[in-house]
Amino acid sequence: MALDDPKAISGAQKAAILISSLPEGITVNVFKKLKEHEIEKLIKTILSLDTPSKETMQHVFDEAYEYLKAVSPLKIAPDHLKKILKNALPPEMLEKLLNQTFDEEEGKAIFKELEKLDAKMVANLIKDEHPQVIALILSQLKPMKAAEILQYIPKRVGVTNVQEEVIKRIASIEKISSQTLKIVANTLEEELLTIGAGKEESLSGIDIAAEIVNALPKDLQVELLEDVRKDDEVLADNIEERMFKFEDILKLDNRAIIEILKNVDKNDLMIALKGADEDILNKFLSNMSKRAAEMFLEDMEVLGPIKKSDVEKAQKKVIDEIKNLINKGVIEFGNGEEYL
For residue range 236-281, what is the model confidence (pLDDT) as tens digits?
888 877 777 888 899 899 999 999 999 999 999 999 998 788 889 9
Low-confidence stretches of the chain (pLDDT beneath 70): 1-8, 58, 61-62, 64-89, 93-110, 157-159, 178-179, 181-204, 334-340
- CATH code given to domain 6-89: 1.10.220
Whole-angstrom CA distances from 117 to 87, 107, 112, 132, 333 are: 38, 17, 9, 21, 26
At a CB cut-off of 8 Å and minimum separation 6, what does 280 contact?
Answer: 246, 247, 249, 250, 273
Query: How many Cα neighbours within 13 Å face the side chain of 8?
Result: 7
Class of domain 112-240: mainly alpha
d(CA 249, CA 48): 28
Q: Tell me, what's the pLDDT at 261?
A: 93
Q: Tell me, what's the pLDDT at 40?
A: 80
- Say if residues 120 and 112 touch (Cβ distance below 8 Å): no
Q: Tell me, what's the pLDDT at 224?
A: 87
Nearest to 92 by CA among 36, 25, 24: 36
Domain limits, the chain: 6-89, 112-240, 245-327
The model's pLDDT over 85-136, given as tens digits with 9 standing for 90+, comes to: 666 667 776 666 655 555 555 445 567 777 777 888 888 878 878 888 888 8
> How is domain 245-327 classified at the CATH fold level?
Annexin V; domain 1 (1.10.220)
Phi, psi for residue 326 in degrees, rounded to 5? -70, -40
Phi-psi region of 50 (alpha: psi -120 to 50; beta: other; left: phi over 0): beta
- 6-89 with 245-327: one CATH topology? yes
Sequence-distant contacts of 192-197: CB under 8 A, at least 24 apart: 192/110, 192/114, 194/106, 194/107, 194/110, 195/107, 195/110, 196/102, 196/103, 196/104, 196/106, 196/107, 197/99, 197/103
Strand stretches in 152-260, DSSP E: 156-157, 160-161, 175-177, 200-202
d(CA 20, CA 288): 46
d(CA 221, CA 223): 6
Determine the longest span between alpha carbons in the chain, in angstroms: 67
d(CA 141, CA 147): 9
